[in-house]
Amino acid sequence: MDGIRGRLTADAPLAPLVWFKAGGRADWLFEPADLEDLRDFLTRLGGDMPVMALGLGSNLIVRDGGVPGVVIRLGKAFATVEARRDKVLECGGGASGILVSSKARDAGVAGVEFLRGIPGTVGGFVRMNGGAYGREVADVLIDCDVILPTGDFVTLPTRDLEYTYRHSALPEGAVVVSARFQGREGVPAEIGEEMDRIAAAREASQPLRTKTGGSTFKNPVGGKAWQLVDEAGCRGLALGGAQVSEKHTNFLINTGDATSADIEGLGELVREKVYASSGVSLEWEIQRVGRP
């Protein structure tokens, strides 16, 4: 790896990098200096090692056995947002939803306020078709640039991602390095008011000041996951150091010393209870990665 300019760390702890503050280590963690550094690094690997991109770790359970291969974490060089002509936003894969929506507000670009409510990065919510408050990435994405595990650079239009609810056809191991979103003409003050409304709604309804993840389960067709969890008597249910949030029952929290096995095990227990109560089999929305 002579000439690689980014930081490459062996046996790197991942718990400090994810919202749950639990889980194992990455075999390797690579934080590239820039796009060319990332391409060079992956080209040298030649697709012979598993690759996983890590954003803010807000919707992720890293299992206690750690993550095989290489975890890619995009830093400051990828956290850029630029408003272009025709109300198009050019965003780096490491830019947060808050940064994208704030830059859009300042430039008078409406239509992406909902990104204020997604606690993740562009790379993460492009992969997951992230959404909040009635809108999702599929509504605004034009296309995205990705680096494949082989180091190849490709641009994928929205149609190629085959978006469904919280899912895309993005190739396994692909790293989203940039994306373009289509906004519309707006008034900064009005955009700011909508962002403030979204922020207040999240603060009022979600356990944001705890060690938690994003929404645990996908909403079933015609229903709400939180309501099914509540009706199954799971509010406050605990397993080891993990607990179903009292504030919002579609969130799990680490009360202090939870292992990832506690968190995932609690989620499976909730699924069992919901199925017994309602006959609905909830699907995980939180991504679970790594070795048990």
pLDDT per residue as tens digits for the range 172-220: 999 999 999 999 999 999 999 999 999 999 999 999 899 999 899 999 9
Question: pTM, whole model, 2 decimals?
Answer: 0.94
Q: What is the CA radius of gyration of the chain?
A: 19
- Considering the candidates 113, 136, 264, 285, report the single residue annotated as catalytic: 285
* Other beta carbons less than 10 A from residue 1's beta carbon: 10
Instruction: Give the helix/strand (H/E) hosting 265.
Output: helix 260-278
26-39 confidence digits (pLDDT tens)? 999 999 999 999 99
* Separation of alpha carbons 269 and 186, rounded Å: 46
Mean pLDDT for 116-129 is 94
- Considering the candidates 215, 245, 260, 271, report the single residue annotated as catalytic: 215
User: Residue 240's pLDDT is what?
Assistant: 98
Burial class (CB in 10 A: 0-12, 13-18, 19+), 267: buried
User: Residue 1's pLDDT is what?
Assistant: 82
User: Residue 106's pLDDT is what?
Assistant: 98
Q: Is 215 a catalytic residue?
A: yes
- Considering the candidates 39, 127, 166, 180, report the single residue annotated as catalytic: 166
Q: Is 166 a catalytic residue?
A: yes
Closest CA to 141 of 125, 165, 118: 125
273-292 confidence digits (pLDDT tens)? 999 999 999 999 999 999 99
64-93 confidence digits (pLDDT tens)? 999 999 999 999 999 999 999 999 999 999
